[in-house]
Structure 1
Amino acid sequence: MSLIPKSHPRAKSLFIREKLVKGFENGLVAKEGLLAQGRGEAFDYLLGEKTSRLAKNAIRAAAAQLLLAERPVISVNGNIAALCPKEIVKLSKQIKAKLEVNLFYANKTRKQAIIKMLKKSGAKEVLGSNPKTSTKLDGIDSARRIVDKNGIFAADVVVVPLEDGDRTMALRNAGKIVITFDLNPLSRTSHTANITIVDNVTRGIDLLIEECKKLSKRNKDSLQKIIYNFDNKKNLAENVIQIKNNLTRRARIA
């Protein structure tokens, strides 16, 4: 990994970029995943490269939903495995969720590399590679339709960070509650998911873990109230307004 000076004004962003490049070199990340990161980075810049109040509200709702889940599953792709494998494993243990590898650009070698990374990061079991327990989601033609019978297929709540819109819709149509991280408040994924955390997953994942810990002492009624009071569509609209306001301020400075 190249040496990035801490004094660089966008050191954190560059460090994330380098982690993905390393993930690509190690067989975790697809070429297309690098392109997706660039798009997300652009939106992060527009959002101010910080976790907003709006993102924190979504994180709180997501934590409440995960704590109420009976069969939570976290879907992992190459970018997530490269960016925050330890944190994803930590979250799975915190909420007693299963981990399942699911890839748009399916590749057995890459899938095994991701599983190896997750186990190296503390995971005891990772689903998604056993053909004997695989099945298909209806309404989707990509390789992401292949899921594990004991994982995503049986889940009531699925965390799908850095997801594509088609599978988010397929998961919703299958009766799943979907939680996603997506820096683009305009995307199909953002508008299809039940709860969208508009934040960089490398920032938001730690906050989600902490919020799950904090809310774990709450009773079901209290958790359900948090979810009831969260409006995903409204939250997304306010994120768009935040981008507009950020651009307006910059225009005035210019």
Structure 2
Amino acid sequence: MSDVDVPESHPRYESLLTRHRIEEGVEKGITSRQGLIAQGRGEAFDYLLGEETIPSADRAERAAAAQLLLAEKPVLSVNGNVAALVPKEIVELAEAVDADIEVNLFNRTEQRMEAIATHLREHGADEVKGLAADARIPGLDHERAKVDADGIRAADVVLVPLEDGDRAAALAEMGKTEIVIDLNPRSRSTEVAAVPVVDNIIRAVPNITRHARELADATPETLTEQIEHFDPDEARRDAEHRIRDGDLA
């Protein structure tokens, strides 16, 4: 089965395409089998959100773009699900905001790290960090603590899509500005994010890139205004309200 085997006229086209990409990621050794479970959980939240980018999420995506453009050293963190779902889109975002890409995994093996790095290069990445793992995130005793000294360890702004809550909290403790993409507005990751983006990653990453390109020539003052006008608590509340009380019809 390939992407073209799902007709775009199918009412569940995007959902089926996303599931297929995760399945294909498992077959390629990019995504762990636990990633299948995580994808299903996220899909349920997306269904309750109406499978669309709600206005507060779009505002978050614009604030995220401004944060990345203002950053001195932005880094985009990539796990197996991210690599399977939006490899080309991550590369395009990195180019738009001049960010590094770093692979970081909970179920880390040398084979998976190499497979994901190769996959990202096949989709246009010039350099992929994470393989050196010559630094650690304090307070973590599992594989996600391993980072590159000149990557996530040195970053001031980190995009952490589909993130584990404990690492998100540890990065916040380090004083890093975090942009989190997560369909659960009450997740630990979303709660600690400076910019919580409650949206499906297949929509969120291209949206952040679009905003970054629109803001490419903006002054630092304009970018700062975009960030200051964004309320993360309001974004979380708005997404939760949509999930609890939205009209599925």
Distance 2:47 2:194 in 1: 25
Task: Tell me by how many angstroms 1:177 deviates.
Answer: 0.3
- Counterpart position of 1:56: 58
Q: 1-side partners of 2:106 and 2:198: how far apart?
A: 22
1:77 to 79, 86, 107: 79
Match of 1:232 in 2: 232
Match of 1:172 in 2: 172
Residue aligned with 1:160, SS: strand
1:120, 1:77 → 2: CA distance?
Answer: 16
* Letter of the structure 1 residue corresponding to residue 67 of structure 2: Q
SS of 1:216 mapped into structure 2: coil
Partner deviation per Cα, 1:212-240 (whole Å, 9 max, x = no partner): 01011111111111111111111101111
- The AA in structure 2 aligned to 1:145 is A
Aligned mates of 2:132, 2:136 — CA distance in 1:
13
Q: Which moved more, 1:110-119 or 1:4-13?
A: 4-13
Q: Distance in 2 between matches of 1:214 and 1:101?
A: 27
Distance 2:244 2:102 in 1: 37
* Equivalent residues in 2 for 1:27-106, closer than 5 Å: 27-106=29-108
1:113 to 98, 104, 115: 115
Within a 5 Å distance, the mapping from 1:7-18 to structure 2 comes to 7-18=9-20
Give the TM-score normalised by the residue count of structure 1: 0.95
Q: Secondary structure at the match of 1:100?
A: strand
Measured in 2, the distance between the counterparts of 1:180 and 1:49 equals: 18
Name stretches of at least 5 consecutive residues in structure 1 with no aligned partner.
none
Amino acid at match of 2:223: L
The answer to whether 1:4 aligns with 2:6 is yes
**Amino acid across the alignment from 1:77:** N
Q: Supply the distance in 2 between the matched residues of 1:10 and 1:221 (Cα, whole angstroms).
A: 42
Runs of at least 4 residues off by over 4 Å: none
The CA distance in 2 between the partners of 1:175 and 1:41, in whole Å, is 31
Instruction: Among all aligned residue pairs of Structure 1 and Structure 2, give the percentage whose two residues are the same amino acid.
Output: 47
**Deviations along 1:79-111, whole A, 9 cap, x unmatched?**
111111011011111111111110011111011
Q: Which whole-Å CA distance do the structure 2 matches of 1:243 and 1:173 have between them?
A: 29
RMSD: 1.1
Shift of 1:130: 1.8
Letter in 1 for 2:222: S
Matching residue's letter, 2:30: L
TM-score normalised to the size of structure 2? 0.96
Deviation per residue, 1:168-215 (Å, 9 max, x gap): 011011111000110001111111111111111101111111100101
The unaligned stretches of length 5 or more in structure 2 are none
* Cα deviation, residue 244, structure 1: 2.2
TM-superposed CA distance for 1:43, in Å, is 0.1
Residue 191 of structure 2 aligns to a residue whose secondary structure is: helix
Code of the residue aligned with 1:193 in structure 2: it is A
Cα drift, residue 34 of structure 1 = 0.8
